[in-house]
Chain A
């Protein structure tokens, strides 16, 4: 079974600084997707960034970028120029072929990020 581990329950960063959130996963598959989702207090889960395992190039979306190390099964999220609106729970997630072909997302337990003014 696939597992996703986020070892940092809470983190804080000063506004405009850079922060990196860690994520490791375990799978025997060779092709899969990895995601970072953001969940602000409103509860709405929002996709931040996506990485396809067969692509070696790290994904980037504006201030958000990932460091994908396939051999190490590591997928960290870097947030540059942190903004107050980045305060949220961040979940790392894995998607691969599973029972019934569901490609369900398996989530980590999350990292609570607080951006301080």
Chain B
């Protein structure tokens, strides 16, 4: 596709359930990022992929959060045993590589944990 695609756009789940959020980056973009944006807040870095490897996972808030990327393309962010504080918009971004400076963002997945 022409841009970064994320699904689902909105997800409502019950506390304790697992959720998977998907990101399909721009074709050819080797670097992929996940950010979390709580209501009215800025963006918190979660994890960075270069190809299929994740050299920077420093932003993952707990071991309930994990992410993978396959084929150097699609990435999945998984949150296990969701908590109410996980409610946020999860944004994915991609870029052609280091030193380009600009990230291209998807529209995000809004997660609501009841």
Q: Are A107 and B55 in contact, CB atoms less than 8 angstroms apart? A: no
Which of A33, A42, A102 touches B55 (beta carbons < 8 Å)? A102
A30 at the interface (CB under 8 A from B): no
Which of B45, B93, B108 touches A43 (beta carbons < 8 Å)? B108
B12 at the interface (CB under 8 A from A): no
Cα–Cα, bound, A42→B91 (Å): 13
Which of B41, B50, B93, B99 touches A45 (beta carbons < 8 Å)? B93
Residues of A in contact (CB 8 Å), total: 25
Q: Are B56 and A95 in contact, CB atoms less than 8 angstroms apart? A: no
Q: How far is the CB of B27 from chain A (nearest CB, A)?
A: 19
B101 at the interface (CB under 8 A from A): yes
A: residues with CB less than 8 A from B are: 33, 35, 42-47, 50, 52, 91, 95, 98-110
User: Could you give 24 example pairs across A and B, Cβ below 8 Å?
Assistant: A33-B101, A43-B89, A43-B108, A44-B106, A45-B91, A45-B103, A46-B105, A47-B102, A47-B103, A91-B42, A91-B43, A99-B55, A99-B56, A100-B48, A100-B50, A100-B55, A101-B50, A101-B55, A101-B56, A102-B33, A103-B99, A105-B33, A106-B45, A107-B42
